[in-house]
Amino acid sequence: MSQAEDKFDSIIVGAGPAGSACAYTLAKAGKNVLLIERGDTPGAKNVTGGRIYTYALEMLEPGLYAEAALERRVTHEQIMLLGGERAITVDFHQPGFNAGDQAPMSFTILRAVFDEWLAAKAEEAGAIVACGIKVDRLIEQEGRIVGVVAGEDEMYADVVIAADGVNSLMAQEAGLIKDIAAKNVGVGVKEVIELPEQTISERFNLRTDEGAARMLLGCTEGIHGGGFLYTNKQSISLGCVFTPEEVARHRKSVQEIFQDLKMHPAIAPLIADGESIEYSAHLVSEAGFRGIHPRLYREGFLMVGDAAGFVVNTGYSIRGIDLAIVSGIAAAKAIIAAAENIALAGPNYMQELNRLKLMPTMKATDGYFEVLETPWLYDKIPNLANDVMEKLFKVDGETPSGVKENVLGAIKANGLSIWQLTKLGIKGVRSL
């Protein structure tokens, strides 16, 4: 095939939310788009904890969420602190997040299902979706990226968009990023456990389509990280994220630590009698704003989604899918606006990322990184909280000690000082 025949306006590598959102927007604008996915189907290689914030889908097209392959709308935001066999659960319910006349704020989600749906939308809009094809390398001509090679095939485009995820081999090949630094990522593992819809609703005190999103602290044996639990329609996604460098020092397998979590007395009843239907793992960028790669484009090449480092982790919520979709839209708009001079696509992209509030969002949450660096946040703090609760609720006929005494005693027993906690508080207030 000649180069002219195989030339597209844009080639997108990776049919995750970023790639498909980009393909959808470009195709709607009449662009000739090729979306390449190495999985058998879009989503076959992708993993999430579980949730999507709906505003991003609304940005892609208002009302689109109503037909999207989503699980339950999140009505209950929960935080769980584990300390030994004990657990404290905070459950926040705000009906306003899901008021009747607007799109619910977020939904739980399974990526193999969702990504396939979104790629199909891009295809419907006119993009060519090619699955089961792994892009091997980029084609560079006179300092510009002009296409990709997959096996024997060469395909050309004005712009190649790297939407190939956290471990972006495309961006590395383009020379825009180096190998990922271990300190900047977490390794996440997840089990999807099937249960009847009604059982899930009962166990989490939910109505039919309501869902819970739960962050867990104190389940990583002190390793920087945490757990998550999301209720899907007919399954529960339970998982855990760990800083791999600390796992290596701790010398216990992430799989084992995760199985311990499953058996925790406060977790086991929630998943009891469930059938495990999948075990997955994925890397997640943990560095937030400072993890965004300094250069997100070069001539003929843009990076979107996880490949660009767009993940926000505040400790109580984790965002990636929404940022991926927004960055995909931003890239598409940048390319459309650069129709006259494609060299402007990169600079346009940076402007769009600001205009669509993606960069400001990342920047605003930068301070969380330092707070989350606090080493004793992952075992001593949740244990301390449980110690205080235990003393508070314990009645055994003995003369009770005062609350102040209890708290001070618990702080000391956990090897902490008021000074350390005050410093963390100040750091927290300053950076958040």
Partner 1 sequence: MIARLSAPELLSKNKFNVDEEEAHIIIDKAICARCGEKACLYICPAVLYKLDKNGEMSFDYAGCLECGTCRVMCKDKGIVKWGYPRGTFGVNYRCG
Contact positions vs partner 1 (CB under 8 A) = 38-41, 43-48, 110-113, 115, 131-134, 150-151, 166-167, 169, 179-182, 185, 187-189, 191-193, 235, 237, 242, 244-245, 247-248, 250-255, 259, 262-263, 268, 271-274, 276-283
How far is residue 59 CA from its own chain's centroid? 18
Please report how close the Cβ of residue 170 comes to partner 1 at its closest, in angstroms: 11
The answer to whether residues 161 and 331 touch, using CB atoms and an 8 Å cutoff, is yes
How far is residue 141 CA from its own chain's centroid? 35
Q: Assign 155 to helix, strand or coil.
A: strand
Please report how close the Cβ of residue 31 comes to partner 1 at its closest, in angstroms: 24
Cβ proximity to partner 1, 180 vs 350, nearer residue: 180
DSSP state, 40?
A: S
Q: What is the token pair recorded at 421? A: 């906690």
Cβ proximity to partner 1, 159 vs 193, nearer residue: 193
Neighbours of 411 (CB within 10 A): 18
Please report how close the Cβ of residue 248 comes to partner 1 at its closest, in angstroms: 4
Please report how close the Cβ of residue 184 comes to partner 1 at its closest, in angstroms: 9
Please report how close the Cβ of residue 270 comes to partner 1 at its closest, in angstroms: 9
Cβ proximity to partner 1, 150 vs 407, nearer residue: 150
Cβ proximity to partner 1, 44 vs 350, nearer residue: 44
Cβ proximity to partner 1, 5 vs 273, nearer residue: 273
Angle between helices 17-28 and 321-337 in degrees, nearest 10: 30
Cβ proximity to partner 1, 169 vs 335, nearer residue: 169
Cβ proximity to partner 1, 91 vs 256, nearer residue: 256
Please report how close the Cβ of residue 187 comes to partner 1 at its closest, in angstroms: 4
Residue 263 CA to residue 360 CA, distance in Å, equals 40
Please report how close the Cβ of residue 52 comes to partner 1 at its closest, in angstroms: 12
Tokens 């004005």, residue located: 158
Give DSSP secondary structure letters for 290-345: GGS-S--EETTEEE-GGGGT--EE-SS-EE-HHHHHHHHHHHHHHHHHTSS-GGGH
The answer to whether residues 379 and 222 touch, using CB atoms and an 8 Å cutoff, is yes
**Where do the H-state alpha helices sit in 97-227?**
111-124, 169-173, 197-203
Neighbours of 309 (CB within 10 A): 25
What letter represents residue 135's amino acid?
A: V
